[in-house]
Amino acid sequence: MTTISASSDTQPLSLEQQLTQLETRFASDLAASPSTEALEALRVAYLGRSGELTLVRRAIGSLAPAEKPAAGKRINDCATKLEELLTQRLAAFEQAALMAELEQRIDVTFPGASPALGSLHPLRRTTDAITGYFERSGFAVLTGPEIETEYYNFDALNIPPDHPAREGFDSFYLDGGLVLRTHTSPMQIRAIEAHGTPIALVVPGRVYRRDSLDARHSFMFHQVEGLLVAPGVHLGHLKAALTGMCRALFGPEQRVRFRPSFFPFTEPSAEVDTTCPGCGGDGCSTCSGTGWIEIGGAGMVHPNVLREVGCSPEKYSGWAFGVGVERIAMVRHGIDDIRSFYENERDFLEQLA
C-alpha cells in the first residue's frame, strides 16, 4: 500500500511520484482485466472507500496547509483520469459483447425468412379486372355513396313509388327517405348530373338487399355498373363491350348471350349470360347443365332516365349494364359458396392469391 508517510529505510515518495506510480500500475491492471467484473473489482481497489487513491487522499490531512489545495487538485485529476479509463474500457467490453452476439446470430449466407405478404382480396382483383378492361377503352372509374336517397336509387331510374320493381329489390330502408343502395345504377344519374353527356364510365361498389345469407345469396354484395351515353350508341355496342369484358376475364373463346328481360331503367332490357368457363358450354355442375352462367343485367338506357337528367333522347342514346362481382369471381375461381369471400380465412384467400 502506498502512503505519504515514509517507510523506515527509503526516502519518502513525493505525492507526485506516488500518483504517477499508482497511475502506471492502474494502467497495467486495467490492461490485464479480462471482464466487466474484473473492472468493477479494479474500481473498488483504487477508487472505493478504502481504495488506494482514497487512502492517498486521506493522507492530505498531514500536509502543510499551503500544500493542501494543489495536492487535492492533483488527486482529483488522478481520480477523474482513472474513472475515464474505466468507463472507456467498460464501453469497449460492451461493444465487444454486442459484436460477439451479433456474429453468432447473423449468418448472412442463411436464406432469409420470407415475411407473410398480404395480397388483394379476390373480389377486389375481379373488380379491378372488370374496371381495368373498360379503363383501357377510355372509360372513367367512379364511385358513389352506399347510403342513397330513394330518388337516386328508384325515382330517377324510372321506378316510381308504387312500382312493383321496388318490392323486387327488398331494400334496407333508413330514416328520412334514405336507403342502402340496392344497385350501382343510381350512379348513372349522379354521374350524368355531375359530368353531362357524352359519358363513359364504370362504377364498382357494394350494394345491399334483404336476402338471407346462403351459398348463393348475401345481404351485401358487389356490382360493377357500366354506362355509355353518346350520339348513335346502339345494342351492338353493348354486346361488343360485354363480350370484350368476358374475353378479358375468361379467355378469347368466351361468348355472351342476351336473354330478354325487364328493368324499368332500360329498354330493351336483357339478362346477360356468358359461356360457362367450367365446361366451355357443354354443361356441368357449375352451370347446372345449361352451359351458360348469368353475370348481370343490361340494356339501352330508358328515354325517361335520359330526360330526368336533362339529356335529349332524340340526340343521345346509351347502354348500361350491372354485373355481379361475386358471381364472376365464383366462376373464375370455381368457388361454390359466396360466404367464402366474407370469412377472411387465410387459407382460402392465399389459395386464390
Q: Which residues bind ligand PHE (CB under 6 A)?
A: 183, 185, 263, 266, 269, 296-299, 320-322
Q: Which CB, 43 or 257, lies closer to ligand PHE? A: 257
Among residues 59, 44, 54, the alpha carbon closest in space to that of 76 is found at 54
Residue 257 Cβ, how far from ligand PHE at the closest point, in Å? 16
Quickly tell me which residue has 357443354 as its cell: 282
Report the C-alpha gap between 234 and 229 in whole angstroms. 10
* In the complex, minimum distance from the CB of residue 266 to ligand PHE, in angstroms, rounded to a whole number: 4
CB 191 within 8 A of CB 203: yes
Q: What is the largest CA-CA distance in the chain?
A: 130
Q: Running DSSP on this structure, what letter comes out for residue 186?
A: H
Give least dist CB 136 to ligand PHE, A.
21
Q: Which is nearer to ligand PHE, 125 or 183 (CB)?
A: 183
Q: What are the grid coordinates assigned to 150, written together?
A: 330513394
User: Cell numbers 355496342 correspond to what residue?
Assistant: 237
Q: Minimum Å distance from CB 108 to ligand PHE?
A: 57
Q: Is-contact 222 125, C-beta < 8 A?
A: no
Q: Which of 119, 94, 342 is nearest to 215 (CA)?
A: 342
Nearest distance from C-beta of residue 286 to ligand PHE, angstroms: 21
Give the nearer residue to ligand PHE in terms of CB position, either 144 or 297.
Answer: 297
Q: Which residue number, 277 or 322, has a Cβ lying nearer to ligand PHE?
A: 322
Pairing mode of beta strands 178-180, 173-174: antiparallel
71 vs 156 by CB, closer to ligand PHE: 156
Core vs surface per residue 138-168: b (16+ CB within 10 A) or e: ebeebebeeebbbebbbbbbbbeeeeebbee
CB nearer to ligand PHE: pick between 53 and 323: 323
- Phi first, then psi, for residue 176 (nearest 5°) are 75, 35
In whole angstroms, the minimum distance from the beta carbon of 137 to ligand PHE comes to 18
Which of 296, 315, 293, 297 lies closest to 306, judged by CA? Answer: 315
Smallest distance from ligand PHE to CB 314, Å = 21
Inter-residue contact 173 to 191 (CB < 8 Å): no
33 or 269: CB nearest ligand PHE:
269
Smallest separation, CB 321 to ligand PHE (Å): 5
61 CB-near residues (< 8 Å, 6+ apart): none
